[in-house]
Structure formats: structure tokens, C-alpha cells
Amino acid sequence: MAALTDRFGRRIDYLRLSVTDRCDLRCSYCMPAGFKGFEVPEHWLTFDEIERLIGAFARLGVSRVRLTGGEPLLRKDLPILASRLAGLPGLDDLSLSTNATQMERHAEMLKAAGIRRINVSLDSLNPCKFGQIAGRQSFDKVMAGLMAAKKVGFAPIKVNMVAMKGVNDDEIDSMVDFCHDNGFVLRLIEAMPMGDTGRNTQFMDLQPVADRLKQRFQLQEIAIPLGGGPARYLASRDGKFNVGFITPISQHFCATCNRVRLSVDGTLYMCLGQDEKFEFRPLLRQGATDQDLEAAIRTAIELKPERHEFRENPKKIVRFMSMTGG
């Protein structure tokens, strides 16, 4: 069967699957403190519906799936879903993005279910500052979750730090040291203007940061990507430590975008910075065949835009990051 390719010639082989829009944190760049606009559970895709739809994507060449949220570990019985997805033919890579507050008690089950690598959001190593950014005093839970993940053997473990000018930019070097000492991959991320939360975040250009870290820690560029995402990586000379830079604003990566995002209610978003979408829940609940689903996926991918407009039109996207899926 022909590969899943959009109208700009990009092969789509990576899907980010949001299993819930709920989260136990309220990170300042993601979800407003008093947000109440969550999707009703009746609209969530069931595990059966998810398995059918992801199976159709896999038959069309999508080989990477990342479980996201909100906070995915708030979805009841997530390890069961992970096990079902890990067994799908053609799905070679099942990973998880998490804030790690629930990871300590789930790590072994998730590893046994077939998840091999995880990304953990950690924006500060200072417990007080962490609480200010995350809206909850959960630093100790996150650290316990990280260490539990390390203990059970997830590899790689990537630590995602949203770099914010005047907020946590003074901690970047200490985060490098922390990740180096623990064998984690650090990824620095530029804040995106999604919803009022994203637009109110203090943007920080990561290009000068990359140049500085390269000199201070004697890092060198590597050409081989670590995973299916957009990060550009620098590595230590011995190859034992990597730091990635995700730069949607200062140096966008739209020309090589290989991913789409499926929200908890079955809406497929083609781009974080655009509004094109396709709703799969009605098809799934109206008796669509597998062939119908595959045809609908191809139709949806044709909607994928060439690029976002975060710089040109930063007020365009009103939905919050948690509504799209991380």
C-alpha cells in the first residue's frame, strides 16, 4: 500500500495520541489555572475505538505513536491500552510523554506493556520555582517518578524544559548537569503562542543558547535524529550525553514535519499552529469499515498545511496546548 504522504511530499509516519485532556498540573504556558472546558467523557474515544483507528494508521505506514495528554497517566488502565497498541502490526515505536507525577506507581506496568521510552516535562530543579510554573507543588513526585522510570530501564528518558526568559533561563546549565549525571537526554523547547497561556509566556530564542552550550560543554552537532520528533541535537564528545533544541519560532522545522495529533475526542489536528482538523469519532460510531477509516485518514492528511504562522499571526490559535494534545 502507498505510504501516507501529504500534498507537500512529506511522509507522515508519526502520530501523537492524546488519551485525556485532564492534567494534575497547571503549567503556565499550557492550561489556565481555572480552566473548566474539558471534553466530556462520553466523547472520549474508547480503547476499542483507539485500537481500531491506530491500527488503520499503522496499516498506512504510521510506525511511531506517542501517548500524550493532558497527563496520560490520569487515563484509567493506560497500561492496558499501551499493551494493545504495542501489539499492532506495523507499530514499531510506542512512547509516552508525561509530567511524571504518577510515574512512580506506573513505571513497571508501562514498561511491561511495551512502552520503551518516555519524555518527562521538567521546567525547573528549584522546588519553589517548579511550583510557580506548574501551578502545583509536585516537585518531589516528579523526581520520584523520574527515578522510578530510570530504575525500570526506560531508554532514552528525555527531559523536556520549556525555556522562558526571566523565568528559568538561569537554570539551563544546571539542567544540563542534572541530565548528564543521570543519563537523561535534555531537550530545550521554545514556547509557542497557543491560547492566551502560550502568548503570555516569555519567549526565548534558543539559537544563542545552543551556541553557548556548544562552547561551554564542548558539544558537537549530530546528524542522526534521536526519535521521530523535530529536535536538533548536540552531543558530548564521548557520545554519552545529548541535548536537543526544539525551535518552532526561531528556526521552524515545518518542511520536515512528519506528524499529526489525535485528540481525546477523536479529532485529528494536522498542525499545532493551524486550524485544519478531521473528526473521526462520528465515523467510528456510525459503523465505518476499516477501508472507510483508511480512506478518511488519507483525506485528512491532504488537509495538512505547509507550515504554521506562529511568527506572522501569533494570535491565530485560541485553543490551549492541552486541548490539542502535547
| pLDDT computed for residue 199 by the predictor | 47
Per DSSP bridges, beta strands 242-246 and 185-190 are parallel
Model confidence pLDDT, tens digit, residues 37-67: 889 999 999 999 999 999 999 999 999 999 9
Report the greatest alpha carbon distance in the chain: 59
- Strand order through the sheet with 219-221: 219-221, 232-236, 242-246, 185-190, 157-163, 117-121, 93-98, 64-68, 14-18, 259-262, 267-269, 277-279
> CA quadruple 98, 103, 106, 111: dihedral positive or negative?
positive
Buried-exposed string 271-280: b where 16+ CB fall within 10 A, e elsewhere: bbbbeebbeb
| pLDDT computed for residue 195 by the predictor | 53
Per DSSP bridges, beta strands 14-18 and 267-269 are unpaired
Model confidence pLDDT, tens digit, residues 70-92: 999 999 999 999 999 999 999 99
Which run of H or E residues covers position 236?
Answer: strand 232-236
Per DSSP bridges, beta strands 157-163 and 185-190 are parallel
Tell me the Ramachandran region of residue 188: left when phi exceeds 0, alpha when psi lies from -120 to 50, beta otherwise.
beta
Measured CA distances, 85 to 12, 57, 59, 234 (Å): 18, 11, 13, 32
Model confidence pLDDT, tens digit, residues 273-312: 788 899 999 999 999 999 999 999 999 999 998 876 556 5
Rounded to two decimals, the pTM is: 0.91
Instruction: Flag residues of the chain having pLDDT under 50.
Output: 198-199
Please compute, for residue 21, the number of CA atoms within 13 A of its CA located in the half-sphere on the CB side: 25
Cβ atoms of residues 268 and 278 within 8 Å? yes
Q: What is the dihedral of CA 144, 150, 156, 160, to 10 degrees?
A: 10
Residue 9: count of CB within 10 angstroms of its CB: 7
Q: How far apart are CA 139 and CA 107, in angstroms?
A: 17
Helices marked H in 116-171: 127-134, 139-152
| pLDDT computed for residue 224 by the predictor | 67
What is the set of domains in the chain, with CATH numbers?
14-324 (3.20.20.70)
